């Protein structure tokens, strides 16, 4: 068998890496054998897909602060206990809370083409006045157009699509999502009375996508909803032909007082460095209208599965391997902020924090970030070990939303990078169901995470 790492390259890499837990990678053949066993255990007889079914079917709509979330947290805790964790914990955290209320109605009134528009109120939005809100509609593509558009007393319709030319859908999402997150505030500054946003997806269908929005303290709070991409196309066509067309919005949602919630934690204690942590995690909460399979049920179960896989192959980790299922990623990030606050308070060292929150699709690799900006280069020394499993990407990044605070605190983070071309077909929708998750792709993702955790535990990063 061809050696995976030339000795000279190994020595050079070892010099780059000052961590106490660092040892050279002496036997790539032995590592390759461990990875093979981890992938075998993930692909043959794993309980993970069944667990994903249980999580998504028993606890849909698990927005943090709801009974569904609390049930999911208890179930996850018991699942972690059952696989033999040395310590489990529900870490208390206070979360913002918001309620949708009765289903929203958005209706187009026009001389020709009147009818309902498939819509979902945005998370955090205020409701409409009793009896609803009816006004003329002004379509814009950007905040810059608002001043000249004359939107006072009207509903603003933000219709800038996600850029189809972006190869990475997450980047296209990033380029469009400010319409959802800040559109209501920007429109209200110019006197608008309501906001409609084109759903954040490349898909052209009648499925609306909700998501977070927020207000500023000194700007009027106006209601906001997303409409499906087909509804957006129809509304846009209608407004071009009939500029006097109106939309009637009836939203029953309302922000509510904060509620108690919890992060779910389970860990296997390290044999040599129990005080140093390698974290794997995802977010347990989902939007209220979705089973949250890809976002982020897959990430939660994959994180639990990493612990099970290490045990299944009989590997005794040197560092503590900790699974963290975060509360409140969708509408506040309070779970991640509280976890990081406790880490700082206890001065807990984290060797790596690996997040999975980009869908349960076929894994392509990892993004890695650390203050020095070289973590992805260090991890890339293991690329050839991953190639047999179709995994080859080690790129610079920031892990993900929930490990972001740990990166800012100075620790190394990573994010599993699946092929995410279909992720925004399902993201924050009612159709984010388990039947959209391919069992093998999902299992390969868990195995990839376990492999990276094993290599970092064994050799340092
Ligand atoms: Zn997510």
For 155-174, what is each residue's pLDDT tens digit?
A: 999 999 999 999 999 999 99
Q: Which of 247, 291, 289 is nearest to 103 (CA)?
A: 289
Q: Which residue has the tokens 């957006």?
A: 232
For residues 228-257, average pLDDT: 98
Half-sphere exposure of 320 (CA within 13 A, CB side): 19
Say how many Å lie between the CA of residue 170 and the centre of ligand 1: 12
pLDDT at 1 over 90: no
Instruction: Record the tokens describing residue 192, joined without a space.
Output: 């608008």
What the block records as the tokens of 460 is 């340092």
d(CA 426, CA 227): 14
State the DSSP H helix or E strand holding residue 369, giving kind and residue range, or none if neither. Answer: strand 363-369
pTM for the predicted model, two decimal places? 0.93
Percent of the chain with pLDDT over 90: 94
Q: Which domains does the chain have, with CATH numbers?
A: 7-96+258-459 (3.40.630.10), 101-252 (3.50.30.30)
Q: How distant, in Å, are the alpha carbons of 15, 44, 314, 382 from that of 307?
A: 30, 16, 11, 21
* DSSP symbol at 144: G
Q: Is the pLDDT of residue 7 over 60?
A: no
The token pair that represents 49 in the structure block:
């897909």
**What residue has token string 């392509």?**
364
Reduce the DSSP state of residue 114 to 3 states and report it: coil
What one-character DSSP code corresponds to residue 162? P
3-state secondary structure at position 355: strand
Nearest C-alpha neighbor of 246 from the set 133, 161, 125: 133
Given a contact cutoff of 8 angstroms between Cβ atoms, the answer to whether 432 and 291 are in contact is: yes
Rounded distance from Cα 283 to ligand 1 centre (Å)? 6
Whole-number Å distance, alpha carbon 190 to ligand 1 midpoint, is 32
Alpha helices of 83-133 — where are they, by DSSP H?
none
Distance 128 CA to ligand 1 centre (A): 28
Between the CA of residue 327 and those of 50, 135, 204, 309, 412, what are the distances in Å? 22, 38, 31, 24, 21
Using the predicted structure, report yes or no on whether residue 393 has a pLDDT greater than 50.
yes
- The Å distance, Cα 430 to ligand 1 centre, comes to 14
Interval between CA 334 and ligand 1 midpoint (Å): 14
**CB contact at 8 A, 444 and 42:** yes
Averaged pLDDT score across all residues of the chain: 94
User: Binning pLDDT at 50, 70 and 90, where does residue 26 land?
Assistant: low
CA of 232 to the centre of ligand 1 (A): 24
From the CB of residue 388, how many other CB atoms can be counted at a distance below 10 Å?
Answer: 11
Q: CA nearest 127: which of 184, 177, 201, 182?
A: 184
Encode pLDDT of 262-316 as tens digits: 999 999 999 999 999 999 999 999 999 999 999 999 999 999 999 999 999 999 9
DSSP structure class, residue 387: G
Number of DSSP helices (H) and strands (E) in the chain, helices first: 15, 16
Residue 10 reports pLDDT greater than 70:
no
Whole-angstrom distance, CA of residue 313 vs CA of residue 186: 54
pLDDT tens, position by position, 44-95:
999 999 999 999 999 999 999 999 999 999 999 999 999 999 999 999 999 9
Which pLDDT value is given to residue 12? 37
Asked whether the beta carbons of 3 and 27 are under 8 A apart, the reply is no
15 Cα: distance to centroid of ligand 1 (angstroms): 37
The pLDDT of residue 6: 35
Bridge-partner residues for 418, per DSSP? 363
CA 67-68-74 angle, 5° bins: 85
Q: What is the pLDDT of residue 28?
A: 86
Calculate how far, in angstroms, residue 281's C-alpha sits from the geometric centre of ligand 1.
11
Contact at 8 Å (CB) between 327 and 285?
A: yes
Residues annotated as part of the active site: 329
Give the pLDDT score at 100.
98
Tell me the average pLDDT across 197-216.
98
- pLDDT at position 25 is 67
Six token digits for residue 278: 């390698």
Å from CA of 296 to ligand 1 middle: 5
Mean pLDDT across the stretch 188-214?
98
Going from the Cα of 357 to the center of ligand 1, the distance in angstroms, rounded, reads: 5
Taking only the tens place, the pLDDT of each residue in 341-382 is 999 999 999 999 999 999 999 999 999 999 999 999 999 999
CA dihedral 23, 27, 29, 32 (to 10 degrees): -10
Give the length of the chain.
461
Helix (H) / strand (E) containing 98:
strand 87-99
- Ligand 1 centroid – CA 330 distance (Å): 7
pLDDT surpasses 60 at 21: no
Quickly state the pLDDT bin for 27 (edges 50, 70, 90): confident
């Amino acid at each position: 068998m061809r050696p995976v790492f030339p000795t000279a390259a190994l020595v050079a890499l070892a010099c780059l890496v000052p961590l106490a837990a660092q040892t050279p990678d002496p036997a790539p053949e032995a590592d390759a054998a461990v990875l093979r066993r981890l992938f075998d255990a993930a692909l043959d007889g794993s309980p993970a897909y069944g667990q994903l079914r249980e999580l998504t079917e028993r606890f849909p709509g698990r927005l943090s602060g709801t009974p569904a979330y609390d049930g999911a947290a208890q179930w996850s805790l018991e699942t972690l206990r059952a696989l033999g964790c040395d310590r489990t914990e529900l870490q208390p955290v206070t979360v913002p809370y918001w309620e949708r209320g009765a289903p929203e109605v958005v209706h187009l009134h026009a001389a020709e083409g009147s009818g309902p528009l498939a819509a979902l109120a945005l998370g955090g939005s205020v409701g409409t006045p009793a009896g609803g809100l009816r006004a003329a509609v002004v379509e814009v593509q950007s905040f810059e157009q608002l001043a000249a558009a004359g939107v006072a007393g009207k509903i603003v319709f933000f219709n800038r699509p996600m850029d189809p030319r972006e190869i990475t859908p997450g980047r296209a999402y990033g380029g469009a999502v400010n319409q959802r997150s800040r559109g209501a505030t920007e429109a209200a500054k110019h006197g608008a009375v309501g906001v409609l946003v084109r759903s954040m997806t490349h898909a052209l269908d009648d499925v609306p996508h909700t998501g977070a929005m927020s207000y500023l303290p000194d700007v009027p709070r106006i209601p906001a909803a997303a409409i499906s991409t087909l509804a957006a196309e129809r509304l846009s066509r209608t407004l071009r032909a009939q500029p006097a067309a109106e939309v009637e919005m009836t939203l029953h949602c309302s922000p509510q007082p904060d509620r108690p919630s919890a992060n779910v934690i389970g860990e296997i204690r390290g044999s040599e460095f129990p005080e140093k942590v390698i974290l794997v995690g995802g977010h347990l909460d989902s939007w209220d209208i979705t089973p949250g399979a890809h976002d982020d049920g897959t990430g939660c179960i994959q994180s639990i599965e990493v612990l099970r896989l290490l045990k299944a192959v009989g590997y005794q980790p040197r560092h503590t391997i900790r699974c963290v299922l975060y509360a409140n990623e969708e509408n506040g990030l309070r779970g991640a902020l509280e976890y990081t606050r406790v880490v700082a308070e206890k001065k807990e060292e984290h060797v790596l924090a690996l997040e999975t929150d980009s869908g349960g699709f076929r894994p392509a690799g990892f993004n890695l970030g650390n203050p020095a900006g070289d973590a992805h280069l260090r991890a890339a020394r293991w690329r050839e070990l991953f190639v047999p499993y179709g995994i080859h990407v080690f790129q610079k990044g920031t892990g993900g939303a929930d490990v972001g605070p740990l990166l800012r605190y100075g620790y190394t983070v990573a994010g599993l990078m699946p092929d995410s071309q279909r992720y925004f077909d399902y993201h924050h929708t009612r159709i984010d169901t388990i039947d959209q998750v391919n069992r093998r792709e999902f299992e390969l993702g868990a195995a990839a995470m376990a492999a990276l955790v094993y290599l970092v535990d064994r050799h340092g990063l």
